Every structure is written in structure tokens, then in C-alpha cells.
Structure 1
Amino acid sequence: MNKDFQLLFEYARIKFTSTDNKISEYFLARNSVKNIEELAAEIGVSTASITRFCKKIGLNNFKEFLFIYQQQLNEEQPKQSVEPCSLHHAYIDVLKQFDKRLDKEQIVRFSQEIHQHDVIHVFGSGYSALAGADFKFRFTRLGKYVEVVQDSDSMQMVSSILKPGALVILLTLKGKNGRMYSYAQQMKTKGVTILCITANEKSKLLSVADAAMLTSSLHGEESTGMISGQMPILMAIDHIYYQYVYDYRDTIRNWVVTEQPFMS
């Protein structure tokens, strides 16, 4: 995928050390391409520092960065703005990955559990909390009470007071939140129904979830700001919402008719 290395630097600069800044300055000056050993010697840093730098800007290794850098050196003129087709290709990559992971049975299970519960607690922080707000907006309009729990202290409090049979949906793209896993274990032993949306197929959360949806990972794109970090979870929520409306359209219609006098 074609990316602008200058934009990668700017989005990741908040995480840069003085060593990272030395490396970025070398490339921003559009110096000639070298292998990693030669580059390290010229700049006065270690090869490991260069590898860490590449990962900070959302790439896998120096070889991947070098490919992007060489592409732009070969251009007649430097880019002045983000090339629209680059972002277009990024969206396509995310969609393809989501399509491969799509599990119809899990979507149906989510729909069924949401239908059976009037009160739903959604656990998620950061970008996941933003996606949780979208879930709340949609399902509140269909008669559900949705609470988005965004910080660890609130998650701990809510998980301690939930009763057996309650429904909790965990939203976490990386699936590595240790405290969330601890709270999920606690709720599981009490008989709370747990659903999970994550991009991490190896997440420990999957072992305690009654149902789970795997969505796309962004491979560092969310850290550079190229693609909104909540996008993969929103894609999963879109499918759940569509399935729910399809499965229970008569119930939804009846609820809307009943509530209409109070909506004016």
C-alpha cells in the first residue's frame, strides 16, 4: 500500500525519542537509500533503534519502510497531500480482512442475546468507547437501555454489582486489556452473559466469552491516524444491528407504535 512517509512521521512524532528524531531527519532530507547497517553507522544509532523507529510509525520492519521511501524518491515531485487512492486501498484491505473473518452464526447469536436483554452494559475504552456510543445510540432507539462503561474503575464497579443473567459486551480491538479480562472472569463465574468484539484471535477474552466476533485489525494504521481506530468495531456493530432489525422487525415495529405518543 502506498503511504506518505512524511505523514507517518508526523502522526507518530509524539512517541519519538531524540534517536527517532535523528532517523526521521535523515529521511526528511531525502538522503540516498542505504542498507540498515550503513544507515546506522552514518546516523550514529544502532540497527535495533532503526527497527523500533519503523514499528513506531506503523510498519513491520525497515525493509517495508525502505520500499515506501524508495517509491517516493523515484517520483518526479514530492507529494503535497495524501493521495486519495492510498486511503481507498487501505479501506479495501480492512474490508477484505473483515469479510474473511465474518461468522454469520456469531452475528445471529449477538442478535438473539440483545433481543433477550433490555439492559446492556458495553465495556470499552478509547476508540472502543466511541464505537460503544454508536451502539448505544442505535439500540436505545429500539427500546434498549445501554450503558457504556469507559474506564477501568467503572468496569470494576459495574462487574461487581451485575447479577446473573445480565448482558455485557466487550469492545477491544487489540484484546490485550488485562484488567478487562479479570473483570470478565469475575462476571463469568456469576453467570453474566459475555459477548466480545475484537481483532485479536488469540485474546484471552475469547475464552470467557459466550459469543465473539472477530473484526479487522489495523496493523498500526490507528496509531498513525490514517484510519479511525473505531472503524473495525463499527463494521461489526453495523452487521449486528442489521441482523437484529432483520430478525425482530415486527417487535421493533410494535415498540415504535407503542412509544409514538411519547416521542412527539
Structure 2
Amino acid sequence: MENKVDVVSQIFKSHDNFSDVELKIAQFISENPRLVAISSISKLSKMIGVSTASVSRFAKVLGLENIRELKFHLAQSFNSVEMPVVDQRLATSGYNLIYESLSTILLNNVTTLSGSHITIFSNFIEEAETIYIFGSDAITRHCAEDAKFRLTLLGNVVLTADSPELMRAYSNNFRPNDLVISLDISQQPEQLIEVTAKAKQVGCRAAAITSQLSDLTNLSDMVLAINTQDINGKFKSNALRHLLLTYIDAIELELLSRQATI
């Protein structure tokens, strides 16, 4: 699997030769490449509505050894983002620096994102009666509201807060079947640590999307860690906001895929 294969391009080239079942698989892969890259073959077959054998045969039709190789090349395509050709005058401009900051943090984190962690995180959400999403600054507040909107559309009861006073007020209503999610881009989020500790005391599950150096990693039942190394300080906040939203995207995709199979 050393040679890079553009799976989507291969699908377009072979489109006219596909059977009805293959067309169904091809359409799903073309529309949901990221979801395909992180899903098991059994989950894919359920989402598409075909047998696992059909999914395996489709990979061979594209000239690949198996579905694992197909997923590998899809993931590889996300990990090899190339800088666009730009005018030399823009090479050191703000536009280019912003792009570099975004691409660096996304590649450093998304390429190591564990599918099993997304699965567990999603399990917590599905099993919770009430979901509390807490942020500690403007960036995480924005991301918390975005997550609330998406999860509410999926049928969850979600509350958000970014002030210590409101977090403490909510913590008085924690119940064992609730889930507390902390969004954090610092390493010492005192108010989030306090409310997470309270959640654990009453038997709530706690999850976090936070810096790998944060004390929240030791308190939470599930953590999607953020690596903030090699990030341009000037554009770090914007890049981290996009990273948090990318993680939320991955969780939403997992939850949507489950609902599609019901």
C-alpha cells in the first residue's frame, strides 16, 4: 500500500462499468469519504444497505486488495494536504500564514484521531439523559454552542455554560446518567476541573476535548486530546477553533451513521 491511490478519481473513471450494487457503494463513498475511512466494513455495509461481501468485492473492482486498503488510501488523501500554488508576493502574507497554521494543527491531530475513541465518545452521548457542554473562553463557548445545536437536532437534551457561576448552578442538578463534556484549549482550566470533579462525585460520566497536558485528562472517562505543538501563535486560536469543530464533526458523523442504520 505504498503507492498513493485516488479512490474517488478511480470511482469516477469506472462509473460506467459498475453494477447497480456497485453504483450504490460508489455513491456512498464519494459522498462520505471521511466516514468510510473511519468505519468498519460491517458498519459500512449496514449504512450502505449491502452485504459485507459486496463491499469487499467493490474494493477489488477498483484494483485494491481489500476494503482495508481502500480505507487506507482514503485516509491518506486527507493526510497529504498540499499547499496551493500562490503568487510569490503572497508567500509570506497573512493568507499563507493562516493556511499554514490551520493545515499544521489539523494534520498533527486528525491523523492520530482514534476511531475507537470517537465510538466511545458517541456511546456516552447516546446513553446520557442530559448532556452538559462546558467551555472556558470565547472559542470553546462558540464550539459548545455549535455542538449543542447539532446534538439537539439528533434528539439529545443539551445545556451549555461558559461562566463558573452557571457551571456551578448546573452542577447542583447533575444525575448519575448525565454526561459532562468539557471543551478546553488551555492546560489549566480551573473551573472545568472543578465541575468535572463534581460530576465524577455524583456518578456522571465525564468526557473532554482538551490539551494532552491538561489535568482534565486524568479526571475524564474519555478524552480526545489536542496537540498544540508547532502552531503559529498569532493564528493559534483560529486554528484550534477549527480543530475543535473537526472533532465535533467526527462525533456527529458517527451518531448520524448509527441513526441511518435504525
- Render the CA deviation track for 1:77-100: whole Å, top value 9, x for unaligned: 997x93533322222211211134
**Structure 1 residue runs of 4+, over 4 Å off?**
218-226
Give the secondary-structure state (helix, strand or coil) at the position aligned to 2:228: coil
**Corresponding letter in the other structure for 2:122:** S
The match for 1:190 is: 202
Is 1:210 aligned to residue 221 of structure 2? yes
Of 225-234 and 144-153, the range deviating more from structure 2: 225-234
Give the secondary-structure state (helix, strand or coil) at the position aligned to 1:203: coil
In the superposition, the TM-score normalised over structure 2's length comes to 0.59
Distance change >3 Å, CA 222–CA 83, structure 1 → 2: closer
Question: How many Å apart are 1:161 and its aligned residue?
Answer: 2.1
Give the secondary-structure state (helix, strand or coil) at the position aligned to 1:197: strand
Q: Report 1:141-180 matches (<5 A).
A: 141-180=153-192
Is 1:236 aligned to residue 254 of structure 2? no
The match for 1:133 is: 145
Flag structure 1 segments of 5+ consecutive residues without an equivalent.
1-76, 252-264
Q: Following the alignment from structure 1 to structure 2, what is the Cα–Cα distance between the partners of residues 156 and 169?
A: 14
Question: How many Å apart are 1:101 and its aligned residue?
Answer: 3.3
**Corresponding letter in the other structure for 2:100:** H
Q: Following the alignment from structure 1 to structure 2, what is the Cα–Cα distance between the partners of residues 223 and 171?
A: 21
Is 1:104 aligned to residue 115 of structure 2? yes
Higher gyration radius (CA): 1
Q: Following the alignment from structure 1 to structure 2, what is the Cα–Cα distance between the partners of residues 120 and 109?
A: 15
Q: Following the alignment from structure 1 to structure 2, what is the Cα–Cα distance between the partners of residues 96 and 224?
A: 16
Q: Following the alignment from structure 1 to structure 2, what is the Cα–Cα distance between the partners of residues 101 and 82?
A: 29
Question: How many Å apart are 1:248 and its aligned residue?
Answer: 2.9
| Count of aligned positions | 174
The match for 2:61 is: none
Distance change >3 Å, CA 227–CA 159, structure 1 → 2: same
Distance change >3 Å, CA 184–CA 145, structure 1 → 2: same
Q: Percent identity?
A: 21
Q: Following the alignment from structure 1 to structure 2, what is the Cα–Cα distance between the partners of residues 225 and 170?
A: 19
Q: Following the alignment from structure 2 to structure 1, what is the Cα–Cα distance between the partners of residues 173 and 227?
A: 32
Distance change >3 Å, CA 249–CA 118, structure 1 → 2: farther
**Corresponding letter in the other structure for 2:170:** V
The match for 1:87 is: 98
Flag structure 2 segments of 5+ consecutive residues without an equivalent.
1-87
In the superposition, the TM-score normalised over structure 1's length comes to 0.59
- Render the CA deviation track for 1:93-126: whole Å, top value 9, x for unaligned: 1121113431211100011111112421101132
Distance change >3 Å, CA 86–CA 222, structure 1 → 2: closer
The match for 2:238 is: 227
Is 1:119 aligned to residue 141 of structure 2? no
Q: Following the alignment from structure 2 to structure 1, what is the Cα–Cα distance between the partners of residues 237 and 132?
A: 30
Query: Cα RMSD between the aligned structures?
Result: 2.6
Q: Is the 8 A contact 1:215 1:236 kept in 2?
A: no
